Amino acid sequence: MKQKSINWFKVRIVFLSCLLFVCFVFVMGRMFQLQVLKKEQLYKLAAQQQHVQIPLVPKRGTVYDSNGDELAASIEVESVYADARKVVDVEKTARELASILQIDREELRQKLKTHRPFEWVQRKVSSKEAERIKALQLPGVSFLKENRRFYPNSQLAAHLVGFVGLDSKGLEGIEFQYDALLNGESHVWTAARDALGREIAMGNVPFEKEDHYRNIVLTVDKAVQHIAETELDRGVEKWGAKGGMVIAMDPSTGKILAMASYPTFNPNQFIQYRSKSWRNGAISDVFEPGSLFKVFLAAAALEEQVVRPSDSFYCENGSYTVYDRTIHDTSKHGWLTFQQILKFSSNIGASKVGEKMGRERFYRYIAAFGFGEKTRINLPGEGKGIVHHPRYWPPVALDTISFGQGISVTGIQLVTALSAIANGGFLMRPYVVEKTLNEKGEVVQSFQPETIRKVISGATAEKVTALLKTTTEKGGTGEGAVPAGYDVAGKTGTAQKVDSLLGGYSETRYTSSFMGFAPSDEPKLALLVVIDEPQGGNYGGVVAAPIFKAIMEKVLPYLHVVPKGTMIVKNGLNSAPRKEASEAQPVIDGIKVGKGAETVVMPDLKGLSMRNALSRIEGRGLIIKVSGNGKVVEQTPRPGTVVERGDICFLKFRSPS
């Protein structure tokens, strides 16, 4: 009996043990399930709550001009955020911050009440605001460093460089086109945090990573750009015009040296300007080129040997009816040679040359010069222009296109095509980016000139250039475009604008333009000036040519192109003559040069005679270039500038009248 009861007792104990054992098996099974089977899923969830991820505006690459001056730069600014859990006094914090930052207090109050560990209060505040907030030492209010875009030259090259939005996304221009390169990898600030939302240092510290952004060096020269913009502004204002554009190109490479459009804006406050003024008209505006287009007619006709410069055409005394249209000339002409047709810009003459060419042939050249196609300049928003296939040309189109009516082009197309003539017939692809650099300033990619095709022969190009030179000679329409001391090959353009309301050509609204290159024998600069709807004058030769001249006058010396009639005073027993010296003429040898100091300060030479002036600066190892005669009226470098051996010195003389 007792034996049996003991057995039952022990059986119950064993049963109890089994129960315990089952419990442990369940525990271990569950552990396996959570730690092996569901591991990934749970780990992800844990990582999510243990980290705060805040996307930050990264450092953005700098945009430089060709000389390394900053056009767009990133500056570090502070952004204010709040850790709502640590905010002690919501009312006070909201009141203080709202008054300093001038933001909505109620909205801020709601944010601070969320108990979230991260809420932006205001991003990219000024340093003054940041200092004031820091001085208050509000608990729960902290700062993060972000980057803000800054355009140190304000309006300069605004259309070209473009601008970025608040989130550092490029919206226009280079900023838009090269957004991915400039921005590099986007930054996310990841910080480990505890359940109270406090950041805890656990390995990864933000901002330690490389940014991987690129800097961009443009082909544009700040100085040239500045000249172009200043003269364009002045011209537009003088003529009360609606707008305008200037494009300067190195014709042999296709490099854009300057590109200006009017109206312009300040990219630092782009939002305060009408979106219309953000438009880079130089590449996106499409307009009828008018007489400018005769240049390409001439090139085609000469290449095809349809005409010789000396061939004569009857210009119908200023009125020529083709089909249903009557073509007029500004001044009545009888018989004109082809050369004179260009010089006086006769529409009737051009029509007759065009008729001789035939539409198919003419069209082939229009297309070859790149009209009707994008130039593929690396900028956003480029226009194509309107060039119909000859199949669709109305009968009179051949005549009108010959003088630039019934065809639409962009500024960049015109200056690119013109450059082909200046460049021996080679059409170059225009480009604005010289190279890209990495953070350390090492070149990552550099862009080379790209020849698109050969449009005309070198001989034809020379002939066209010669024709274009005559238009800027005395009596030519482009007389006013020539700066003293330089040869300019160019063409005026005066186009009536299409009246969209009446469907014909407006009698009052014009596009006045001038394009050309200089020096004509060895072109260094191709330049297009277009003024949209000038008031009180409309001829390209009157409105645009003086702007062209003013720009050329300043830019050519800057590009070290020596004016005609400049004498080069060779220097240096020790130093070899510089390249510039051999280019210029006449050269006066043998002016005595002594052993000068390595660097000297430029004296003021104004008002001195040539002899006196030269004696003051000779023997300093300078390459001295002089023009004119009489007394010194202009000198470069300016008085007081430190110059050294081998520097070029221009002196301009004029005789007192």
Q: For residues 47 and 443, which CB has a smaller minimum distance to other proteins in the complex?
A: 47
Q: Which of the 8 DSSP states describes residue 318? A: G
Characterize 74-85 residue by residue with b for buried, 16 or more Cβ atoms within 10 angstroms of its Cβ, and e for exposed: beebbbbbbbbe
Q: Does 24 bind other proteins (CB under 8 A)?
A: yes
Contacts 24+ apart (CB under 8 A), 8-12: none
User: What separation, in Å, do the N-terminal and C-terminal C-alpha atoms of the chain show?
Assistant: 150
Please, what is the minimum distance in Å from the beta carbon of residue 204 to other proteins?
Answer: 13
Identified binder of other proteins from the candidate list 7, 49, 445, 599, rule CB under 8 A: 49
Q: For residues 36 and 135, which CB has a smaller minimum distance to other proteins in the complex?
A: 36
- Give the range of 10-18, 126-134, 274-282, 381-389 binding other proteins by CB under 8 A: 10-18
Residues in the chain: 657
Please, what is the minimum distance in Å from the beta carbon of residue 52 to other proteins?
Answer: 13
Please, what is the minimum distance in Å from the beta carbon of residue 78 to other proteins?
Answer: 28
Binding mask 194-223 for other proteins (x = CB under 8 A): xxx---x-x---------------------
String of DSSP letters for 567-636: EEE---SSSPPPHHHHHSS-EE---------SEEEPPP-TT-BHHHHHHHHTTSS-EEEEESSSEEEEEE
Please, what is the minimum distance in Å from the beta carbon of residue 116 to other proteins?
Answer: 12
Q: For residues 6 and 443, which CB has a smaller minimum distance to other proteins in the complex?
A: 6
Please, what is the minimum distance in Å from the beta carbon of residue 88 to other proteins?
Answer: 17
Please, what is the minimum distance in Å from the beta carbon of residue 120 to other proteins?
Answer: 22
Identified binder of other proteins from the candidate list 42, 136, 443, 601, rule CB under 8 A: 42
Identified binder of other proteins from the candidate list 4, 7, 28, 370, rule CB under 8 A: 28
Q: For residues 24 and 392, which CB has a smaller minimum distance to other proteins in the complex?
A: 24
Q: Does 50 bind other proteins (CB under 8 A)?
A: yes
Q: Does 45 bind other proteins (CB under 8 A)?
A: yes
Q: Does 39 bind other proteins (CB under 8 A)?
A: yes
- Torsion angle defined by CA atoms of residues 285, 288, 291 and 292, in that order, rounded to the nearest 10 degrees: 30
Tokens, residue 520: 């004509």
Binding mask 381-420 for other proteins (x = CB under 8 A): ----------------------------------------
Q: For residues 49 and 451, which CB has a smaller minimum distance to other proteins in the complex?
A: 49
- Give the range of 15-23, 153-161, 222-230, 321-329 binding other proteins by CB under 8 A: 15-23
Residues 268 and 151: their CA atoms lie apart, in Å, by 6
Q: Does 26 bind other proteins (CB under 8 A)?
A: yes
Please, what is the minimum distance in Å from the beta carbon of residue 188 to other proteins?
Answer: 19
Q: What is the CA radius of gyration of the chain?
A: 36
Q: For residues 5 and 655, which CB has a smaller minimum distance to other proteins in the complex?
A: 5
Tokens, residue 231: 């003269």
Q: How big is the site for other proteins, counted in residues (CB under 8 A)?
A: 40
Q: Smallest Cα–Cα separation from 618: which of 641, 589, 638?
A: 589
Residues 568 and 67: their CA atoms lie apart, in Å, by 27
Among positive and negative, which fits the CA dihedral 2, 8, 14, 17? negative
Q: For residues 51 and 361, which CB has a smaller minimum distance to other proteins in the complex?
A: 51
Q: For residues 115 and 453, which CB has a smaller minimum distance to other proteins in the complex?
A: 115
Residues 189 and 204: their CA atoms lie apart, in Å, by 10
Helix boundaries (H) for 1-112:
2-32, 39-50, 90-101, 105-112
Q: Which of the 8 DSSP states describes residue 37? A: I
Tokens, residue 40: 């990934």
Please, what is the minimum distance in Å from the beta carbon of residue 28 to other proteins?
Answer: 6
Catalytic site positions: 291
Identified binder of other proteins from the candidate list 4, 8, 137, 655, rule CB under 8 A: 8
Please, what is the minimum distance in Å from the beta carbon of residue 109 to other proteins?
Answer: 23
Q: Does 20 bind other proteins (CB under 8 A)?
A: yes
Tokens, residue 34: 């959570």
Identified binder of other proteins from the candidate list 4, 7, 10, 357, rule CB under 8 A: 10
Task: Find residue 628's DSSP bridge partners.
Answer: none
Task: Evaluate whether 528 touches 246 at the Cβ level (below 8 Å).
Answer: yes
Please, what is the minimum distance in Å from the beta carbon of residue 119 to other proteins?
Answer: 18
Task: Evaluate whether 103 touches 97 at the Cβ level (below 8 Å).
Answer: yes
Q: Does 9 bind other proteins (CB under 8 A)?
A: yes
User: Within a 10 A sphere around the Cβ of 135, how many other Cβ atoms?
Assistant: 9
Q: For residues 37 and 136, which CB has a smaller minimum distance to other proteins in the complex?
A: 37
Q: For residues 38 and 328, which CB has a smaller minimum distance to other proteins in the complex?
A: 38
Q: Does 192 bind other proteins (CB under 8 A)?
A: yes
Identified binder of other proteins from the candidate list 41, 99, 154, 204, rule CB under 8 A: 41
Identified binder of other proteins from the candidate list 7, 30, 110, 389, rule CB under 8 A: 30
- Torsion angle defined by CA atoms of residues 297, 302, 306 and 307, in that order, rounded to the nearest 10 degrees: 100
Give, in degrees to the nearest 5, the angle at Cα 414 between 335 and 433. 155
Residues 224 and 559: their CA atoms lie apart, in Å, by 9
Residues 476 and 651: their CA atoms lie apart, in Å, by 30
Instruction: Find all residues with CB under 8 Å of 444, minimum gap 6, and list them.
Output: 214, 435, 436, 437, 438
Binding site for other proteins (CB under 8 A): 5, 8-10, 12-14, 16-17, 19-21, 23-24, 26-28, 30-32, 34-36, 38-43, 45-47, 49-50, 192, 194-196, 200, 202
